[in-house]
């Protein structure tokens, strides 16, 4: 089994673009990884309501991440289209996981709708994919997935007993998911090579925004934030 790399190790030397991004985002990343949602999932004290709120909202997020990948495919150079198409297949399988787990937990996905944070995050993905260059959209994809890998690795590393939500924890700490995120990092580094300073600054800005939205997503789940009107 693959050694679980601590997120902190990954940003110690700064000679690649993805490492630079992680170093720049370190304070936000720290806030994400120390969020009570993750700690309470790890130690089993999380309330069922809070976890179910997350399940509903993350199901909607994953479902609407597929259109985001669709636009990325449309702008990708030919050699990156097959792995991105595979990522869509993986997301479709993840939706199955959500449906199974929801079913087992007695949660219905009928008539659910997005919280403001989930809605805003998805709009951000779509607006970026459509309106910006492929490299910029891809940076966002890396941010989204890297934050999930690191968040769930953090949960797993702090677990002392099996969780009722183990299937989710295992999903985003699996070898397959780690390989995927490693591929995203490598590919991002290749895409950033030779890009102008202005282009890299735009990519960095988008990465930091993705990190901020990740933090807000845990906040939304933990506090059950909905539309005030």
Q: Find the binding residues for a second copy in span 176-195 (CB under 8 A).
A: 194-195
b/e burial code for range 32-53 (CB count within 10 A of at least 16 → b):
bbebebbebbbeeebeeebbbb
The C-alpha atoms of residue 20 and residue 34 are separated, in whole angstroms, by 21
Q: What is the DSSP letter of 13?
A: S
Tokens of 166: 């183990």
By CB under 8 A, tell whether 33 contacts a second copy. no
Q: Find the binding residues for a second copy in span 68-87 (CB under 8 A).
A: 68-76, 78, 81-82, 85
The nearest distance, CB 58 to a second copy, in angstroms, is: 15
By CB under 8 A, tell whether 31 contacts a second copy. yes
The C-alpha atoms of residue 208 and residue 218 are separated, in whole angstroms, by 16
The C-alpha atoms of residue 198 and residue 47 are separated, in whole angstroms, by 45
By CB under 8 A, tell whether 212 contacts a second copy. yes
By CB under 8 A, tell whether 129 contacts a second copy. yes
By CB under 8 A, tell whether 66 contacts a second copy. yes
Helices vs strands, H then E, count in the chain: 10, 0
By CB under 8 A, tell whether 52 contacts a second copy. no
Which residues in this chain contact a second copy in the complex, by CB under 8 A? Answer: 27-28, 31-32, 63, 66-76, 78, 81-82, 85, 88-89, 92, 116, 119-120, 122-124, 126-133, 194-199, 209, 211-212, 215-216, 219, 227-229
């Amino acid at each position: 089994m693959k050694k679980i790399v601590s997120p902190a190790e990954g940003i110690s030397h700064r000679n690649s673009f993805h490492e630079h991004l992680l170093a720049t985002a370190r304070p936000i990343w720290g806030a994400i990884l120390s969020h009570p949602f993750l700690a309470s999932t790890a130690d089993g004290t999380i309330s069922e309501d809070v976890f179910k709120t997350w399940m509903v909202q993350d199901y909607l997020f994953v479902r609407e991440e597929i259109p985001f990948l669709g636009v990325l495919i449309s702008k990708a150079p030919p050699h990156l289209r097959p792995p991105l198409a595979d990522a869509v297949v993986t997301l479709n399988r993840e939706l199955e996981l959500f449906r199974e787990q929801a079913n087992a937990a007695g949660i219905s996905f009928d008539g659910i709708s997005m919280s403001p944070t989930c809605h805003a995050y998805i709009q951000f993905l779509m607006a970026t994919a459509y309106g910006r260059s492929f490299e910029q959209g891809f940076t966002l994809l890396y941010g989204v997935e890297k934050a999930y890998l690191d968040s769930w690795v953090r949960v797993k590393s702090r677990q002392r007993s099996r969780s009722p939500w183990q299937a989710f924890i295992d999903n985003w700490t699996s070898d397959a998911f780690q390989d995927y995120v490693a591929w995203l990092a490598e590919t991002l580094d290749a895409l950033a090579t030779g890009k102008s300073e202005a282009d890299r600054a735009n990519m960095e800005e988008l990465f930091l925004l993705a990190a901020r939205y990740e933090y807000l997503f845990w906040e939304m789940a933990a506090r059950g934030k909905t539309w005030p009107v």
